[in-house]
Amino acid sequence: MPVKEAPADINVDVPTHVAIVMDGNGRWAKKHGLKKLAGHDAGMQAMKKIVRRSSELGIKYLTVYAFSTENWKRSRDEVTGIFKLLVKYVDSELEEIYQNNVVVGVIGDYSPLPKDSINALLRSFDKTKDNTGLHFNIAINYGSRAEIVRAAALIAEDVSAGKLSADDISEDDISSGLYTTDIPDPDLVIRTSGEKRLSNFLLWQSAYSEFVFTDVLWPDFSTQEFERCLDEYYNRERRYGGR
């Protein structure tokens, strides 16, 4: 399996984990007089470019917010179309992802997805499981509050079984019950389209993350804009409450 070497333009201060709220597909479609699904399709193309560039830059983890627990409230046609696009993306891009040494993962409960979408995800997991490069995590049917409740329930089970004392519950115990248990907390969270909120995304994990907000709609989010966001991150001083 060919593994690409890091490019000469890699920044030694590159964040280990970048998380992105990919927002603005619907507004992009409306702006261009297109149906919403055209915006989601364009968003997939933008995501493809950012995955590739993240890998080239030496970022270790990239997590994108693809479908929240609240997104089920959207029209049936839009939800169905989004999952069909997921299958289309896997079918068209999986070989390149594999060749570029990327590992595909999911955070969230993907069991309620259509069968063909689940199978597409399983194919991507199996194909890339032995890769050693960028960990590309897709947040699907993900909601941070539900994730924290899930972690609390797991802790309650351990307490009830006598495996853990209530007085000894720690932050590590909560973190170990999250979908991101083996993933470092994000150094940088980016949100596109001008909105400035987390929308139930990585609430626990983002306690000390840096945030960069851009007015660019997600389908127009280029690698140049991505690197501008990274430049803003590089110019931050992270103190973690120390002073």
As annotated, the active-site residues are: 23, 71
Which secondary structure element, helix H or strand E, spans residue 142, and what is its range? strand 135-142
CA distances from 101 to 19, 58, 131, 135, 211 (A): 19, 11, 5, 9, 28
**Residue 71: CB atoms within 10 Å:** 16
Contacts of 65 by beta carbon, 8 Å cutoff, 6+ apart: 19, 20, 21, 22, 139, 142, 199, 201
Q: What is the CA radius of gyration of the chain?
A: 18
Which residues, in sequence order, are CB contacts of 35 under 8 Å at separation 6+? 29
Residues with Cβ within 8 Å of 176's Cβ and at least 6 positions away in sequence, in order, are 151
The alpha-helical segments, DSSP class H, found in the chain are 25-31, 36-57, 76-99, 115-128, 144-160, 171-176, 223-234
Could you tell me the two tokens for 78? 């839009």
Separation CA 210–CA 157 (nearest Å)? 34
